[in-house]
């Protein structure tokens, strides 16, 4: 750190102390905040500062159980609300937010600044990239969700008192892949082994094994018709786990 950088940090810290009336030791690391009724599996790594088991609005500390499986890596500035159940091997990026009511399977990855609002159901070995937003979405196993993909769940925002009972969030079937910056409208079903091109706006169901792209997203071809540009494979997805399909 340069002399100018040290002076900037010191000045900023002194400013915080003046505003709050508290003196903070320069360079002292922030700790983790783990609330009541949190069960951490074996070999979980919480890289400070993280928050685990934060009670949602209207709940008290410890009222909802929070479970993290074995070998999870929760990176700094991640917040996990109470009432969430997470399987073995979750890895988060920095600053991920996981709200209450989420169920996340084993071997998943949730990227930096991704937001999982309430009541998502995430399967096993799912990759949710940085900046994605999900609410009331069902995601099956081995799904790829690219950076900044947005799932919507309310057809008539905002303030409808019955929106949770309406169409709800999308469903993404096993082996599906969604390209970066796509937007998925409420209630849409992304079919098994399908591919959504980057920047698409998906307004209706995507058939199994198809490629769609555009705004609104339209049929392009079958996934089986895609070619490997480098010629390494006869066609894409001739590798695990897609051979299971």
Active site residues: 156
Strands 218-222 and 210-213: antiparallel
Cα–Cα distance for residue pair 177/102, rounded to 1 Å = 21
Which two structure tokens, joined as six digits, stand for 165? 């009972």
Which has the closest alpha carbon to 194: 151, 234, 216, 225? 225
Q: 13 lies in a domain? A: no
Structure confidence at residue 155 (pLDDT): 79
**Which residue stretches of the chain have pLDDT < 70?**
1-29, 245
Total number of domains in the chain:
1
The CATH number assigned to the domain holding 121 equals 2.160.10.10
SS3 for 34? strand
Structure confidence at residue 84 (pLDDT): 98
Cα–Cα distance for residue pair 119/134, rounded to 1 Å = 9
Q: 88 lies in a domain? A: yes
Structure confidence at residue 168 (pLDDT): 84
Domain of 65? 29-155+162-244
Q: 48 lies in a domain? A: yes
Q: 41 lies in a domain? A: yes
CB 145 within 8 A of CB 182: no
SS3 for 122? strand
Q: Residue 139 half-sphere exposure, CB side, CA atoms within 13 Å? A: 32
Q: 224 lies in a domain? A: yes
Cα–Cα distance for residue pair 147/128, rounded to 1 Å = 8
Q: 8 lies in a domain? A: no
Cα–Cα distance for residue pair 62/79, rounded to 1 Å = 16
Please state whether the peptide bond connecting residue 158 to the residue before it is cis, i.e. omega within 30 degrees of 0: yes
CB atoms within 10 A of CB 220: 15
Q: 128 lies in a domain? A: yes
Positive or negative, the CA dihedral 88, 89, 93, 94 is positive
Structure confidence at residue 163 (pLDDT): 74
Token pair 């500390």 is found at 61
Q: 95 lies in a domain? A: yes
Can you give the pTM of this predicted structure? 0.86
Structure confidence at residue 18 (pLDDT): 46
């Amino acid at each position: 750190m340069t002399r100018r950088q040290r002076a900037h940090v010191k000045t900023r810290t002194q400013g915080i102390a003046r505003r709050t009336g508290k003196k903070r030791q320069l360079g002292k690391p922030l700790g983790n905040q783990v609330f009541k009724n949190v069960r951490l599996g074996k070999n979980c790594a919480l890289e400070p500062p993280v928050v685990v088991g934060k009670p949602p609005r209207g709940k008290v500390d410890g009222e909802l159980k929070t479970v993290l499986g074995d070998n999870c890596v929760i990176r700094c500035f991640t917040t996990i609300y109470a009432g969430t159940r997470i399987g073995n091997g979750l890895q988060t990026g920095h600053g991920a937010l996981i709200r209450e009511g989420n169920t996340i399977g084993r071997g998943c990855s949730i990227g930096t600044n991704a937001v999982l609002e309430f009541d998502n159901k995430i399967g096993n070995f799912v990759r949710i990239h940085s900046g994605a937003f999900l609410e009331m979405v069902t995601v099956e196993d081995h799904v790829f969700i690219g950076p900044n993909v947005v799932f919507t769940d309310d057809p008539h925002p905002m303030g409808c008192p019955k929106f949770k009972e309406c169409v709800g969030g999308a469903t993404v079937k096993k082996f599906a892949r969604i390209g970066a910056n796509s937007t998925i409208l409420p209630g849409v079903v992304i079919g098994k082994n399908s591919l959504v091109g980057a920047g698409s706006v998906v307004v209706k169901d995507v058939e199994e094994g198809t490629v769609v792209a555009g705004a609104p997203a339209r049929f392009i071809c079958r996934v089986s018709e895609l070619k490997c540009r480098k010629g390494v494979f006869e066609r894409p997805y001739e590798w695990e786990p897609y051979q299971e399909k």
